Structure 1
Amino acid sequence: MAGAKARIASEAGRKLTVVIDGRDYLLPAEKVLEVGRRPAITRVPNSLPALAGLMNFHGLAIPVIRLSGLVPSTKGGAPAPSRETRVVVYDEHGAVALLIDDVRQLTSGKASAAQSLDVAELLAAQFFEAAPLPHRAASQPADPHRETEADGDTRALLSFRLSGQHFALPLENVAEVLKLPAEVTGLPKGAATSVGMIVLREDVVPLVSLAALLGLAEALGETRHVVVVHFGDERIGLVSGLLTGVVRVPETSIDPVPAILQRGTGDAEIDAIARGDGRRPLISILTPARLFRNREVRAALAGQGVRETDMPDHRAADPDQRFLVFAVGDDVFGLPIESVDEIVQLPNAISRVPNAPDFIAGVINIRGKAVPVIDQRMRFQAAGGLGAKRPRVIVVTIDKLQAGFIVDSVSEILMVPTSAIRPAPSLPGNGGQIFDRVTTRGDDGAMILLVDPKELLDRAERDLLKRFQPTADTAQPS
C-alpha cells in the first residue's frame, strides 16, 4: 500500500509537454485521461469560437476545446500556425477534449522551461460559468398522436418517385430510410422481385424491388433508396426511387382505388390515391399489408427464413426512435420524425415580411395557411458549399406556431435504439440549448446533433414570428 501511494505521488508530479501554436506548454499528467489523433468532430452551430465541437469519448459526447484560441499571446513574434492534429482528453469538471498541435514528452517537469498551462482558469470564464455542469434532462420525443392545427384530419406520407410516378407509404409504417448501398449481396435463383440482402446494424435485411413488385419498369440512372418496413417481427427493405419527402394529405383528398385499375399480374395492390391540389401530383399510396400479398415475394421471404405472418399496419411498441436526417452546409443534424409536419421543396416565390429579422426568409402557403420560413443556413452559420440547388423546407409545429426551416437536403430517416442516444453536454453559446441529445453514425464514430424542436425557436424569435406573421389571405400561393 505504501508503495502504491508513493507511485501515485510520483505520477502526480509529472508533466505532459504539448505544443499549441508552435509553443510548448505543460499539463499535469494526473489529469490526462487519453492522448490520441484528432477524431471526427461534430460542429455545434452558434457556439463560441474556442469550442471546436463535440467528439465521441467511449460513448459519451464531450466538448472539444480549441486551446489555440484561449492561450495568452506572448512577446517575441507571431506564433506558428496551429495544426491541431492531436487531442488530449483532460479531466476538468468532467472529461473535456483539448485540441493541440502535438505531444512532445512526459517528464517530471522540473527541468522544463515550458510554461505550465492552467486549463481550469482558461475554461472557467467562457465555459464553466456560461454552461453549468448539471445539464438539463434530455427532452422526450414528441407525441406522435398530438393534435395540432397543422395536423387536422390528415395522413402523413413518405413520398418517393418510382418509374416516373409518385408513390408513398404511411409514415407510421416506415422504420427508416437509407440510400441503396453500392454493394448488395445477391441471392442465387432469387425471385424477380428480389434485389438481395444487406446487413443493417447486425441484422440481415432482405431487399425487395418495388418496381418489380408493382410491375413497373426500372428507370435507368434513378437514385434509389431503401425504405425499411416491418413484416411481423422481421425487417424488409423496399427498394424505391428518389425520396421526395414527407407530405401530409387531407383525408378528404384520399380516395379508394377502383378495382379495375389494380394490376392483374400479381397480388400486390395500391391501397389508395391521394388527389393533387394543383401543386402536388396524384400520389399512389401503398401499405405493407397489400404489398406483401404477392405470392412470389412471400415465397422468397420464406426462403430467407422470414416467417409468414399477417402484416400489421404499424408496430405497436417500438423501443427505437426515428430521426429525419438533414444537412445544412457541411453539417448533419437529426430531428425527431414525430415533430415533422411535412417536407416541401422551397418555392421560387416567397412572400417577404416587412421589418422582419434577416433570418426570416418570408412566408409560404401550406394548404391555405401562411407559414413563416426561417433560413437555417443563416441561423446555423453554415460553412462549406454554396447552398443546395433545390433546398427543402421542413415544416414543424412548435407551441402551436407552425414554421418552416430551409435546409440544404434531407437524406434519410434514421432509426436509433434508445440506448444509443446520449444527452448532450451543457454548452455555451446561443446554440447550446437547441441540441439536447446526440447519437453516433458511421464507422468513424462521428456524432449527429439531435435537434430539440421545442428549442428550435427561442422565446424572442417566437414572439417576433407571432408579431410579424400575416394572415393566410396575405400570403402569396407558392
Structure 2
Amino acid sequence: MNSPHPESGLAGSVEGAAGAGGQAISASQYVTFEAGDEVFAVAMAPVQEIIRVPDVVRVPLSPPTLDGLANLRGKVLPIVSLRRALGFADRAADDASRAVVIDLGQPIGFVVDRVASVVGVDASKIEDVGSISGTVNAELLSGLIKDIGGHAMVMVLNFEKLIAQEFAQIAAIGRRSSEGHSPGTASTVQALDTSPDDDELQLVSFDVAGQEYAITIEDVQEIVQVPEQIIQVPHAQAHVLGVMTLRNRLLPLVALRRMFVLAEQDANEQSRIVVLGIGGASVGVVVDKVNEVLRVARRDVQAMPSLLAQDESMSDVSEICRLEAGKRLVSIICTTKLFRHSVIKEALNAVNDDSQSTAEDHAHEHSGEDGRRADDDEQVVVFRLGSEEFGVPIDSVQEIVRVPDLLTHVPKAPASVEGVINLRGTVLPVLDLRRRLGLAAIARNDGQRIVVFLIRGVRTGFIVDAVAEVLKVPRRAIEAAPQLSDEQSTLLARMANLEKQKRMLQLIDPAYLLAAGDLQHVAELAA
C-alpha cells in the first residue's frame, strides 16, 4: 500500500495556507472541486491537505460510502467516496481524482472528481440555500456562491452534517472525549479461556517433503513468509540457507529438507519460515507449508520407538502424535534437541560471528530485537479474507484446522452458522467469518481454514480464506481504529499500522465475534 503524498501547486498552497488548524487563513477562502456533474466548495480552514487517491484497506461493517483506510505518513486515514455520499453514480478514480483531507475532530479524506481552485469569497456573495432544489440534499449545504471561479453556481458543502449523516461514530468522538471516554477503544466483554488443558498439547503442524511434523506452540516465536533476498553466509554447511533481516536483527535460516536429507525444492508461495526460540537464541526453519494449530490429547502422543530414535535422521523427533484413529501420524520435533544439532549451532554462530557480539546476545535475551522488551510486542495470528489481512491475538486461538469436505447442516440453526463438525469427539459449530463481517461469499477451497476460539465458554470455529502467518507486532504500531459504526468499533477496534512493510492489519477482538443473539443458539448446538 502506497503512502499518499501532497500535491504540488494547488494542494501545496492549500496545505501551506491552512497552517496549523487553519488559524492563519482568511475565513473567506474556499477550495472548489467537482463531484458528479456539480461544483462544490468548502471553507479552507478544516482542509488539511489535498492528496492523490491512495491505495486503501477495505473495512468490513463500515458505511458503504467508505472506500477504506489509507496510510498517511504513519497515520490511519479513512477515505470516503463523496460521489456515493451525495447519491451520485459511482465511478473509479482516475488521474484527475483527488482526496480532500478534512479535519473536523478526525481527519477524513473525501474523494472528489477534480479539484478546481482556491478562491476568495466575500461574505455578501454567499446566499442562503433555501431556494435550492436539485440532485443534492439541501440539508448538506451551508450556502450558495454565484459567479465565482468561472462557475455560475457553486454549492458550499457542510461537511459537519455530511459526517454526522454518514459516520455517527465519528461525529460523536468529540462528545465522548468531553465525557472522559477514550475513542476507538473497546473493552473485552469477558476474557477468552485460551489456556490448554493439562492433558493437552498445543502444536503448530507443517509439511516437509510430504511428511507432517509439529512443534509445541510455546517454542514458536512467529511464522513469516520467505523473503525475496536471503544473505548467504560464506563457508557455512549446506543446510544453512543464510540469514534474513527480521525487524532490525539478523535471523539465521536452516532448510529442514536438507537437515532431514530429503529432496531439494525451491521456495514457493506456500513456503514459510517457522521462527523458533530457546534460551534467548532464535533460528528460522524453512518448511514447505504450515498446516494447522492443533490441540491434541496427551493420550494420543507416544514416545518415539527406541529403534527409530537411534536413526540419525529421526534424532530430533521426540514423539509421535496419532490422529484420526491412527490414520494420521504427526512427528513432534523437540526444539531443545534441534538446537543441539550441529547445523543449528553453526547457523547461530554464523550470525554471531558476522554481526553480533556476546554482549548484544545478552541484551537481546532480555530485551528482544532492536532493543525492545519482549512484552513490547503483541503476537498475532494473521489470516486473509480476500485481499485484506486481519489479526487475532495468538493467545485467543484454540487451534486452526482444515475445513472438512462436508459440514453437517443443522435444521433451524441461525443463518450465520454454516454447520457443525466433529472435532475429536466434540461438536464444533462453524460460522463463515465472511458472512459475519458482511462480505461476499466464496466457494469452498483447499486454502481455507477454521480458526477455533473459546468465546464465553462456547468453543466456536470461524472459516477464513487463508491463514498467512504468526507475527510479532510492535505495540507502538497498534492504534485505535477510526470509529465507523457501532459494530465495527467493538469488533475491529484496533489496527496494526506497519508502515515500513506497507501493511495494515485489522485486529479483531474475538470476544465480539459472536453477536449477542447468536451466542445462545451456538451454545445449544455445541451442547
What TM-score range do you get, normalising by the shorter chain?
0.7 to 0.9
Residue 168 of structure 1: how far off its partner (Å): 0.9
More contact order relative to length (CA 8 Å, sep ≥ 6): 1
1:301 aligns with 2:348: yes
Q: CA 1:275–1:10 in 2, change beyond 3 Å: closer, same or farther?
A: closer
Residue 53 of structure 1: how far off its partner (Å): 2.3
Instruction: Select which of 90, 115, 121 maps to 1:103.
Output: 115
1:83 aligns with 2:93: yes
Residue 449 of structure 1: how far off its partner (Å): 0.6
The residue aligned with 2:140 is none
Partner amino acid for 2:242?
G
- Distance (whole Å) between structure 2 residues aligned to residue 102 and residue 332 of structure 1: 31
TM-score under structure 1 normalisation?
Answer: 0.86
Residue 419 of structure 1: how far off its partner (Å): 1.3
Q: Percent identity?
A: 29
Residue 374 of structure 1: how far off its partner (Å): 0.5
- Distance (whole Å) between structure 2 residues aligned to residue 266 and residue 391 of structure 1: 32
The residue aligned with 2:298 is 251
SS in 2 for 1:282: strand
Determine if contact 2:295/2:398 at 8 Å carries over to the other structure.
yes
TM-score under structure 2 normalisation?
Answer: 0.78
1:69 aligns with 2:89: no
1:348-427 aligned within 5 A: 348-383=405-440, 388-427=445-484
Determine if contact 2:459/2:526 at 8 Å carries over to the other structure.
no
Partner amino acid for 2:475?
T
Residue 366 of structure 1: how far off its partner (Å): 1.0
Determine if contact 1:253/1:274 at 8 Å carries over to the other structure.
yes
1:161 aligns with 2:207: yes
- Distance (whole Å) between structure 1 residues aligned to residue 198 and residue 277 of structure 2: 27
Partner amino acid for 1:299?
E
Instruction: Select which of 115, 123, 126 maps to 2:155.
Output: 115
SS in 2 for 1:63: strand
SS in 1 for 2:505: strand
1:286-365 aligned within 5 A: 286-305=333-352, 318-365=375-422
The residue aligned with 1:476 is none
Determine if contact 2:170/2:483 at 8 Å carries over to the other structure.
no
* Per-residue Cα deviation, 1:93-122 (whole angstroms, up to 9, x for no partner): 222222222322222245343211111011
* Per-residue Cα deviation, 1:5-56 (whole angstroms, up to 9, x for no partner): 9x95644321112222243211221211122122231212122211222222
Q: Where does structure 1 lack aligned partners over 5 or more consecutive residues?
A: 74-78, 472-478
Partner amino acid for 2:287?
S
Aligned residues: 457
Residue 268 of structure 1: how far off its partner (Å): 5.5
1:148-187 aligned within 5 A: 151=197, 153-187=199-233
The residue aligned with 1:124 is 164
* Per-residue Cα deviation, 1:394-436 (whole angstroms, up to 9, x for no partner): 1111000111111111111111011111111222154342112
1:133-148 aligned within 5 A: 133=173, 134=176, 135=183, 137-139=185-187, 146-147=194-195
SS in 1 for 2:317: coil
- Distance (whole Å) between structure 1 residues aligned to residue 493 and residue 326 of structure 2: 36
The residue aligned with 1:475 is none
Q: Name whichever of 197-206 and 82-91 sits farther off.
A: 82-91
- Distance (whole Å) between structure 1 residues aligned to residue 315 and residue 454 of structure 2: 36
Residue 319 of structure 1: how far off its partner (Å): 2.8
Q: Name whichever of 237-246 and 297-306 sits farther off.
A: 297-306
CA RMSD of superposed structures (Å): 3.2
Q: Name whichever of 127-136 and 205-214 sits farther off.
A: 127-136
Q: Where does structure 2 lack aligned partners over 5 or more consecutive residues?
A: 1-18, 123-147, 177-182
SS in 2 for 1:351: coil
- Distance (whole Å) between structure 2 residues aligned to residue 68 and residue 446 of structure 1: 27
- Distance (whole Å) between structure 1 residues aligned to residue 286 and residue 110 of structure 2: 44
Residue 139 of structure 1: how far off its partner (Å): 5.0
The residue aligned with 2:317 is 270
Instruction: Select which of 29, 34, 50 maps to 1:19.
Output: 34
- Distance (whole Å) between structure 2 residues aligned to residue 221 and residue 10 of structure 1: 57
Determine if contact 1:22/1:101 at 8 Å carries over to the other structure.
no
- Distance (whole Å) between structure 2 residues aligned to residue 80 and residue 61 of structure 1: 24
Determine if contact 2:207/2:291 at 8 Å carries over to the other structure.
yes
Determine if contact 1:22/1:80 at 8 Å carries over to the other structure.
no
- Distance (whole Å) between structure 2 residues aligned to residue 300 and residue 141 of structure 1: 45
- Distance (whole Å) between structure 1 residues aligned to residue 256 and residue 455 of structure 2: 36
The residue aligned with 1:434 is 491
Determine if contact 2:30/2:121 at 8 Å carries over to the other structure.
yes
Q: CA 1:439–1:445 in 2, change beyond 3 Å: closer, same or farther?
A: same
1:222-233 aligned within 5 A: 223-233=270-280
Residue 341 of structure 1: how far off its partner (Å): 1.0
Q: CA 1:197–1:413 in 2, change beyond 3 Å: closer, same or farther?
A: same
